[in-house]
Every structure is written in structure tokens, then in C-alpha cells.
Chain A
């Protein structure tokens, strides 16, 4: 309670299981079918506030409504050919969403058409 910094320290400790020298320490796989998305140490860990549509939209939503959640931990990939296996959706606004190439689970992240960079959300994938 007296130490507000404790929070950030804990956060760092959590990611250190996955992040080494700023990169992904482990292989990144699909949570559902374990298809390999990225090799070790090929993506850079970044903290940024960015919304992603939910994987499961549910049936109770209104027509055209897209439920999203705010995520703040991503892996940054600056060249799409670094991916081992990945799917790109059609364009929505200025993005293409990223999916598992084998079971199409997603979005696991997004591709920005302006910068041509890709971002994979840590919470949407498996480290192994």
C-alpha cells in the first residue's frame, strides 16, 4: 500500500518469464491448436494501449456491433515474413487482423497498413 512502485515491479517480473533482452524468450504458438506463430527471439516486446476485437463476439450483440477489449502487452514484428505461420484477414479500416494459420483462431493481433508492422497480443497466444 505504501509503495506504489510495487505494481510495476510485479509486472516486470511477470513478463520476464517470457521476455529476454526485450524479445520473446519462447516460441509463440496458437492457444488452441499449438500451430507455431513465431520462433524464439524474433519479436520485440512493447507496451501500448490498443484495442482488439474479442475472439468470441457472443450471440447477444446488436447487428454490426463489435465487442473489443483494451490490451497493453504486444510483440512487435516489423516484417510479415518473420512469421512462421499466420493468417491475414481482409482490411478493416487501416488494419488487417492476424489469425492462427491452421485453425483461424483470432484475432491474435493486428497488422497496420500504414507502418506495415504487425503486433501480436501476449494474452491471445501461448508461450512454449
Chain B
């Protein structure tokens, strides 16, 4: 009926320990936030957002994960179709940072092997409660060749940017694959993280 109104569709998942702020990142939770009683009671499952990257109109379908999900309960069916994963920890909670490695292993086991990942150190508005330095976040991301950013769902810092960077990475990967199907994957895996240099999160 209606003609296709976009060029590409990317499915993205938000993953990480309970309490790191995944739902708030999806909800955006900014000052102009306006959740009605009815909507906040039911909760939002996923969103569709349209972004424009390099002249292409891209639809992002972004999924939150259910509250108590732990890495051992998240399996293949859960990751099905996901092209990008936002792996979130809480900069004020050491355990959530330690668990990033376990989440990465889970993703390796169950997700599509060329899924694009990004690590987010969330709650960077709480500088006084910080226990995970930005350097440690950058180091682990570099080690795994993954993009990294510190975010605050509360202060609305880097949230939009994180999603467009992840989308851009998926776009790059897709372009590479089209151009050179045999070598693109290897090239992508060896490419170092393009995480931008230290950028003050909430200062």
C-alpha cells in the first residue's frame, strides 16, 4: 500500500545489569519528559526512531530488556535480528562494570557474530559517586575493539549521539560488506575502536 519510507532498518538492543539505566535511556528521562500515568504504568517495550546518516534515512528500532534478565538467561532467541547492542554499566557501581566482560561473552555466544557493539558508562551526572573512572571504561572498550561513551539518561548527555554513532557503525559495516563480501568482516573486526578521545561527560 504505502511505499517504503526509509532506506535501512536497524534493530538495536539495550543490555546490561539491572539498575544501570537501560529503561531511562530508552525513556530519555529528560527535563521535558512527560510520561502520563497510563503510559508509565505499562512501560515502553520499544521505540522506532528515524535518523538521517549520509543521506540515508534510517529507522532504528530500539528494544529495552526486561528488568531481571541476567546474562545466563539471555539466549539466542533474544538476540535474534539484533544488528546493534548498547551494553550499559553504571559508573557508580563497580559490579555492573565487572559484569561487562560477562555480557560480552554472552553476546559472543548467542548473538549474530557481526553484531555491532557499543559500551555506555551511564549516570555520568553523578560525579561525586563515581567509582569507575572514564579511563577504565575506555581501556576495556579498546581491548575489545568496541566504541565507548559516557552518558547520562538523567541529564540527557550523549544519548542521541550514542545511538547515531552505533547506527553509523552498522552502516559502515554494511557498506564494507557490500563492497567486499569476503574481506569486510575481518577488516571490521580488526579495526580499532573509533571511540572519540576523552570528552568531558557532564562538565
In whole angstroms, how far apart are the Cα atoms of A89 and B61 in the complex? Answer: 13
Q: How far is the CB of A79 from chain B (nearest CB, A)?
A: 7
In whole angstroms, how far apart are the Cα atoms of A59 and B46 in the complex? Answer: 27
A sample of 4 more A-B contacts (CB under 8 A), given A99-B39, A104-B33, A104-B39, is A55-B39, A84-B48, A87-B46, A107-B38
List 22 A-B residue pairs with CB atoms under 8 Å apart, sorted by A's residue number.
A55-B38, A56-B37, A57-B38, A79-B2, A81-B61, A83-B48, A83-B50, A85-B48, A87-B44, A88-B45, A89-B43, A90-B42, A90-B44, A91-B45, A92-B42, A97-B42, A99-B44, A100-B34, A101-B48, A103-B33, A104-B36, A105-B36
Kindly identify, within residues 44 to 67 of chain B, every residue whose CB is under 8 Å from any CB belonging to chain A: 44-50, 59, 61
A68 closest partner in B (C-beta): B38
In whole angstroms, how far apart are the Cα atoms of A81 and B1 in the complex? Answer: 13
Q: How far is the CB of B184 from chain A (nearest CB, A)?
A: 26
Question: Is the beta-carbon distance between B39 and A88 smaller than 8 angstroms?
Answer: no
Given A81-B59, A82-B2: A97 and B39 within 8 A (CB)? yes
Secondary structure class of chain A's binding surface, majority of residues: loop
Q: A126: CB under 8 A from chain B?
A: no
Mark contacts of A69-85 with chain B using CB atoms, 8 A cut-off: 1 yes-contact digit, 0 otherwise: 00000000111111111
Q: B9: CB under 8 A from chain A?
A: yes
Interchain Cβ contacts within 8 Å, total number: 97
Residues from chain A with a CB closer than 8 A to the CB of B39 are 55, 89, 97, 99, 104-107
Residues from chain B with a CB closer than 8 A to the CB of A127 are none
Number of chain B residues close to chain A: CB under 8 A: 27
Question: Is the beta-carbon distance between A90 and B45 smaller than 8 angstroms?
Answer: yes
Question: Is the beta-carbon distance between A56 and B36 smaller than 8 angstroms?
Answer: yes
In whole angstroms, how far apart are the Cα atoms of A39 and B59 in the complex? Answer: 13
Q: B103: CB under 8 A from chain A?
A: no
3 closest Cβ pairs, A-B complex: A103-B34, A57-B37, A89-B42
Give the A-binding residues of B (Cβ under 8 A).
1-2, 5-6, 9, 27-28, 32-40, 42-50, 59, 61
Give the B-binding residues of A (Cβ under 8 A).
32-33, 36, 39, 42-44, 53-58, 66, 77-92, 96-97, 99-107
Question: Is the beta-carbon distance between A42 and B5 smaller than 8 angstroms?
Answer: yes
In whole angstroms, how far apart are the Cα atoms of A105 and B82 in the complex? Answer: 27
Question: Is the beta-carbon distance between B28 and A54 smaller than 8 angstroms?
Answer: no
Q: How far is the CB of B38 from chain A (nearest CB, A)?
A: 5
Given A104-B27, A105-B34: A88 and B46 within 8 A (CB)? yes
In whole angstroms, how far apart are the Cα atoms of A73 and B54 in the complex? Answer: 37
A84's contact among B9, B33, B50, B61, by CB below 8 Å, is which? B50
In whole angstroms, how far apart are the Cα atoms of A99 and B28 in the complex? Answer: 13
Question: Is the beta-carbon distance between A78 and B42 smaller than 8 angstroms?
Answer: no
Q: How far is the CB of B36 from chain A (nearest CB, A)?
A: 5
Question: Is the beta-carbon distance between B38 and A53 smaller than 8 angstroms?
Answer: yes
Given A82-B5, A84-B50: A96 and B34 within 8 A (CB)? no
